[in-house]
């Protein structure tokens, strides 16, 4: 069942086995269980601390995402993870899938290919004005190649270790022209 909305809807509980069909270019949000995830959610606001993109649907759905610690064998890089692993409770206390309808099907394919091409590249948590590659900027930079007007809201931080503008998952969740396909939460 699709939830058509420009604004995020409250999370609803549903089993993971009932995930809807996904397409290349769909966004997958999650709220991780770690302290780092809670900090990202707290500082950035919104319901989620991480985002990735569906880059393959057959034989299984795969998510490309920039992360520090999903795979201890491959830390601090862009990973390719099965969707079922990306949303597994070890990594996700809540998750959602959204389709960026402001992109047409061909643009979503091109964007997902560009994101997939980044697999193995290093994770770089730097402000907007420096070279960066973290979960949100991985997607945003690829989207802008197909849709130059894509301009999610960056957030200015002045914290002991973070100074400058950073992009959080909330900016994607609140971006106009997306359709929410699925939401799941084990968070009370």
Distance CA 114, CA 142 (A): 6
Question: Which fold is adopted by the domain 22-185?
Answer: endopeptidase fold (from Nostoc punctiforme) (3.90.1720)
| CA 185 – CA 89 distance, rounded (Å) | 10
Q: What is the pLDDT of residue 17?
A: 66
Provide the residue ranges of all domains of the chain, joining segments of one domain with +: 22-185
- In this predicted structure, what is the pLDDT of residue 39? 85
Please give the radius of gyration of the chain, using alpha carbons only, rounded to the nearest integer: 15
C-alpha distances in angstroms, 176 versus 24, 33, 147, 170, 179? Answer: 19, 28, 14, 12, 9
User: For the segment 79-125, what is each residue's pLDDT rounded down to a tens digit?
Assistant: 999 999 999 988 999 999 999 999 999 999 999 999 999 999 999 99
Task: Return the pLDDT at 18.
Answer: 80
Tokens representing 23? 């397409």
**pLDDT at residue 186 in the model:** 75
Question: What is the C-alpha to C-alpha distance for residues 183 and 20, in angstroms, rounded to an integer?
Answer: 10
Total-model pTM: 0.89
In contact, 150 and 140? CB cutoff 8 Å = yes
Is residue 6 pLDDT above 50, yes or no?
Answer: no
**Tokens (6 digits) for 65:** 């995402």
Quick one: pLDDT at residue 187? Answer: 54
| DSSP annotation of 102 | T
Report whether pLDDT(9) > 80.
no
Query: What tens digit of pLDDT does each residue of 66-92 get?
Result: 999 889 999 999 999 999 999 998 899
Category of 177 on φ-ψ map: left (φ > 0), alpha (ψ -120 to 50) or beta: left
Q: What is the pLDDT of residue 13?
A: 36
């Amino acid at each position: 069942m699709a939830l058509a909305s420009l604004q995020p809807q409250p999370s609803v509980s549903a089993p993971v086995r009932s995930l809807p069909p996904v397409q290349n270019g769909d966004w997958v949000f999650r709220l991780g269980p770690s302290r780092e995830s809670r900090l990202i959610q707290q500082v950035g606001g919104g319901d989620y601390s991480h985002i990735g993109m569906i880059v393959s649907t057959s034989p299984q759905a795969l998510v490309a995402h920039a992360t520090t610690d999903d795979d201890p064998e491959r830390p601090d890089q862009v990973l390719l993870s099965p969707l079922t692993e990306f949303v597994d409770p070890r990594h996700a206390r809540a998750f959602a899938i959204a389709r960026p309808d402001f992109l047409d099907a061909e643009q979503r394919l091109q964007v997902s290919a560009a994101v997939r091409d980044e697999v193995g590249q290093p994770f770089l948590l730097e402000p907007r004005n420096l070279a960066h590659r973290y979960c949100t900027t991985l997607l945003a930079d690829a989207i802008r190649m197909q849709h130059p007007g894509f301009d999610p809201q960056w957030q200015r931080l002045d914290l002991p270790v973070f100074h400058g503008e950073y992009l959080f998952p909330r900016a994607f969740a609140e971006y106009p022209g997306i359709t929410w396909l699925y939401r799941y939460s084990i968070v009370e």
